[in-house]
Amino acid sequence: MMPSTLLGPASLLGPTSLLGFVAGGGTACGFAMVPLAAVNWHGLFFLAFAVVACVMAVAVVLADNVVRMAFYLVLSLGATAGLFFLAGAEFVGAMQLMIYVGGTLVLLVFGVMLTAQAPFVSIKTATGDRVLAGIVAASLLAVLLQAAFSVHAWREPGRFPGDTGGVVEPMSTPLGMALVGVRVDDPSPGLAQENGGGNGDGSGGAAAGGRSGYLLPFEIVSVHLLVVLVGAAYLARAKRRRSSRELSEAAR
């Protein structure tokens, strides 16, 4: 960042720009240089995290070495966690850091080490495949971006976190309650009325309109995790007989 007083045109725009800063990242991203009366830290951090996430995701695709790919992926997912924090979803951000970056990726690198024959193994992709994939990717990206920009409501700017009194409402408590089947956020009255009017007691009102929390998915996921635990342990178990035979063959 540099003070905009150093930039001639910017300082002509008014006395407020004397205090203004121009963020260098904005120009790199193709945005016009705008003198700001205040640094919009929220937007600045969003830009930083977004750029890291996207660049590192592309780097994952371009890299050949598996561990480097894992490292880029860590940066990308970590930056995504930062985006979640910026969006006010602190619990999801922390969860992302813990499970994805701390658990899954360590597991992946562990797998890389277990399956590497030589140091720094890399399996190259054919150039033709790369070109083809590039074309497909460009068209897919174009479609997705077009879809993202097509809905007018999505293009409306959000709020500065400062507008909500400096803090976002803590979200982990209602989130946890939703997971055990209780929606503490008020059920939308329109839906409740459609289903025959809101009944007097709170539980009936919550169940009406189909918003009765996520208890069943939560239970299913936990059972699923248990199954996965057993299954993964079974699949990856050490095969004593086979390995000893291979050892004796190697010794011969």
Partner 1 sequence: MNPLVDPVGVVHYLVVGAVLFTAGIVCMAVKRNALGVLMGIELVLNGANVNFVAFGSPVLRADAGPLAIDGPVIALFVIVLAAAEAAVALAITLNFYNNHSTVDVDRADELKG
Partner 2 sequence: MASFLINTLGLPAWLAWTITATVSAALILNVMAVGALVFIWAERKIAARIQDRLGPTRTGGKFGWLQSVADGIKLLAKEDLMPEGADGLLFRIAPYVSFCASFAAFIALPFAFDFVGQRLNVGVFYVVAVLGLEVFGVILAGYASASKWSLFGAMREAAQVVSYEVPLGMCVVVPVMLAGSMDLVTIAEKQAGWFTNWYLFHDPFTFVIFWVYFTCAVASVNRAPFDLAEAESELVAGFHTEYSGLRWSFFFMAEYGSMFLVSALASVLFLGGWNGPVPIASLLGLSEGTGDTAGYLVRLVGCLNLILKSTLGVVVMMWVRWTLPRLRIDQVMTTCLKYCTPIAAVMFAGAMLWSFFLPGGLVGIAGRRILSRPAGEIREGWLKGPGGRGRDVVSSRPITEAAMMPAPLHSDDGRRVSR
Site residues for partner 1, window 75-104 (CB under 8 A)?
76-77, 80, 83-84, 86-89, 91-92, 95-96, 99-100, 103-104
Binding pattern for the stretch 166-205 against partner 2, x by CB under 8 A and - elsewhere: xx-xxxxxx--x------x---------------------
Binding pattern for the stretch 7-26 against partner 2, x by CB under 8 A and - elsewhere: ------------x-------
Binding-site size, partner 1 (CB under 8 A): 100
Q: Minimum CB separation from partner 1 for residue 82, in Å?
A: 11
The answer to whether the CB of 86 falls within 8 A of the CB of 42 is yes
| HEC string for 48-76 | HHHHHHHHHHHHHHHCCEHHHHHHHHHHH
Which residue bears the tokens 């007097």? 200
Alpha-carbon span 104 to 67, nearest angstrom: 14
In the 8-state DSSP scheme, what is residue 208? Answer: G
In the 8-state DSSP scheme, what is residue 122? Answer: B
Q: Minimum CB separation from partner 1 for residue 115, in Å?
A: 4
For residue 23, state whether it binds partner 1 (rule: CB under 8 A): yes
For residue 218, state whether it binds partner 2 (rule: CB under 8 A): no
By CB under 8 A, which span of 27-35, 38-46, 149-157, 228-236 interacts with partner 2? Answer: 38-46
Break the chain down into helix, strand, coil percent, rounded to 5: 70, 5, 30
For residue 145, state whether it binds partner 1 (rule: CB under 8 A): yes
Q: Minimum CB separation from partner 1 for residue 200, in Å?
A: 21
Angle between the N-to-C axes of helices 66-86 and 41-62, in degrees from 0 to 180, rounded to the nearest 10: 160
Angle between the N-to-C axes of helices 66-86 and 105-115, in degrees from 0 to 180, rounded to the nearest 10: 180
- Name which position in 6, 115, 165, 248 contacts partner 1 (CB under 8 A): 115
Binding pattern for the stretch 213-252 against partner 1, x by CB under 8 A and - elsewhere: -x--x---x--xx--xx-xxx-xx--x--x----------
What does 181 bind: partner 2, partner 1, none (CB cut-off 5 to 8 Å by kind)?
Answer: none
Alpha-carbon span 252 to 235, nearest angstrom: 29
Alpha-carbon span 121 to 63, nearest angstrom: 12
Binding-site size, partner 2 (CB under 8 A): 43
The count of C-alpha atoms lying within 13 angstroms of the C-alpha of 204, restricted to the half-sphere facing its C-beta, is 8
Tell me phi and psi for residue 57, to 5 degrees.
-65, -40
Give me the residues that bind partner 2 (CB under 8 A), please: 19, 37-41, 65, 67-68, 71, 74, 78, 90-91, 93-95, 97-98, 101-103, 105-107, 109-110, 112-113, 119-120, 162, 165-167, 169-174, 177, 184
